[in-house]
Amino acid sequence: MTTPQQHWAADAFFYHIYPLGFCGAPDRNDLFSPPVNRLQKVTEWLPHMRSLGVNALYLGPLFEASRHGYDTADYYTVDRRLGDHDSLKQLAQAVHQNRMHLILDAVFNHVGRDFWAFRDVQQNLSASRYCNWFSGLRFDTRSPKGDPFTYDTWSGYYDLVKLNLDNPEVRGHLFEAVRMWVNEFGIDGLRLDAADCLSQGFLQALHDFCKQVKPDFWLMGEVIHGDYRKWVNPGMLDSVTNYECYKALYSSLNEKNYFEAAYALNRQFGREGMYRGMPLYNFADNHDVDRVASKLNNPAHLYPLYLLLFTMPGIPSIYYGSEWGTQGRRTGGSDAALRPCLTLDKLQRTSHQPDLPGVVAKLASLRAAHPVFRLGDYQQVLVAPLQHAFLRQTDGECVLVILNADEKEVQVTLSIPHPDGKATDILNGSGQFQVKGGKIESLSLPPCWGRVLKIT
């Protein structure tokens, strides 16, 4: 297996789309209507993604499901609300022609009640040959859905039926689906839904299978809580969702408390950091949480937030539409507002942050041009309520990132472990400062923005 530093994902900038919402698909799948190729819309957005500097696309659930996609009915059939086999094949070809990697959502912990093997259990009860495909299936009581049996679920939701992943037939069914996705669509990796619910044995077996099918295949797991080292290791996953820093990205700004972000980053990536060198998947929002533009008290704070996202250790990701400051909150138990149907034309005409896509593109270009952001160590330099500075450093390059969340220009004096030299602003294209005796004196910082200084 390649090391994280050698893997293509170390250089990735992800764009995340929830296809059913993005493409305006019906809320429910009737499971018999002719397919409608709504995936063409994703293809139409590829030039926009490339203009941002995106080189990896993560698509949420694509395969036949009853409602939201995480209730799979058939792993081998494209959801008819999005298209068919040829629709996805054409999209995958377009993604790769645009020099982007393609990652799909893999929902392996559970299926929906329309899953064909579960329907067989409903019809044939204990005589079904698929009884052992489901975890905790028992015929001594009824389920809340009225079945003459009960079963294990994901988090108590009886629409989500937990699979028995210790069953070799179940593993074979899922693994062969992955093989088909690789052979037919050329996918480059998977995001594993509810990875913290999957057993170590299953993840190890999946890892071995995927790396055999495609040696540089990327496996990223959705993990909300816990020690990420449990999942990210040479025999299991390449990365997990960095929920710890997700919260710190916005709450440190709302609370005027950069100490929160600094603590999280130092704990994770500092010299004694738990995850030093680990390529975690960093994000400001996704299909399950409120849009970051709705979380921030001050819209101008989107700018230092994204500056941090692209300069901190790990792999950055943007959720579709958030590059324009799109808002959305979960309401009444519904995720619909988080997963809207968006159009480029309307976003370009009505966005409250029309220059934000250009800023994101600038930050992505900076990260791509300087390996230090992708591979360098992290060292904290300054923490104040509204300012935060840190070094990113490799053997060949040293860069100082300074964030300012204040609404006015401020001046700071920084002490760095470099006695004398020059500090050139490679973010704003202006400004060269002297490093004397390990200090940069009276450095001015633009409001709600920052500087990135290359130290030579």
* Segment 373-397, tens digit of pLDDT: 999 999 999 999 999 999 999 999 9
pLDDT at 343: 96
- Please calculate the CA angle 100-106-112 and round it to the nearest 5 degrees: 140
Q: Rounded CA gap, 116 and 207, in Å?
A: 26
Q: How confident is the model at residue 88 (pLDDT cuts 50, 70, 90)?
A: very high
Is the pLDDT reported for residue 110 higher than 70? Answer: yes
- Locate 299 and state its tokens: 């819209």
Q: Rounded CA gap, 403 and 383, in Å?
A: 10
| Contact residues for 432 (Cβ-Cβ < 8 A; gap 6+) | 422, 423, 424, 425
pLDDT at 416: 96
* Segment 256-271, tens digit of pLDDT: 999 999 999 999 999 9
Give counts: helices (H), strands (E), the chain: 13, 19
Mean pLDDT of the chain: 96
pLDDT at 312: 98
pLDDT at 4: 40
* Segment 388-424, tens digit of pLDDT: 999 999 999 999 999 999 999 999 999 999 889 999 9
Q: How confident is the model at residue 430 (pLDDT cuts 50, 70, 90)?
A: confident
CB crowding 354-391: b at 16 or more within 10 Å, else e: eebbebbbbbbebbeebbbbbbbbbbbbbbbebbbbbb
Domains 8-373 and 376-455 share a fold: no
Q: Rounded CA gap, 438 and 313, in Å?
A: 24
Is the pLDDT reported for residue 3 higher than 50? Answer: no
Q: How confident is the model at residue 1 (pLDDT cuts 50, 70, 90)?
A: very low
| Contact residues for 434 (Cβ-Cβ < 8 A; gap 6+) | 421, 422, 423, 440, 441
CATH superfamily of 376-455: Golgi alpha-mannosidase II (2.60.40.1180)
Q: Rounded CA gap, 226 and 235, in Å?
A: 18
Is the pLDDT reported for residue 300 higher than 70? Answer: yes
Return the domain boundaries, the chain. 8-373, 376-455
* Segment 161-206, tens digit of pLDDT: 999 999 999 999 999 999 999 999 999 999 999 999 999 999 999 9
The whole-number average pLDDT for the span 118-141 is 98
Do 69 and 115 form a contact (C-beta atoms < 8 A)? no
Side chain identity at 89, as an amino acid letter?
K
pLDDT at 6: 67
Do 382 and 389 form a contact (C-beta atoms < 8 A)? yes
CATH superfamily of 8-373: Glycosidases (3.20.20.80)
Is the pLDDT reported for residue 440 higher than 70? Answer: yes
Is the pLDDT reported for residue 141 higher than 70? Answer: yes
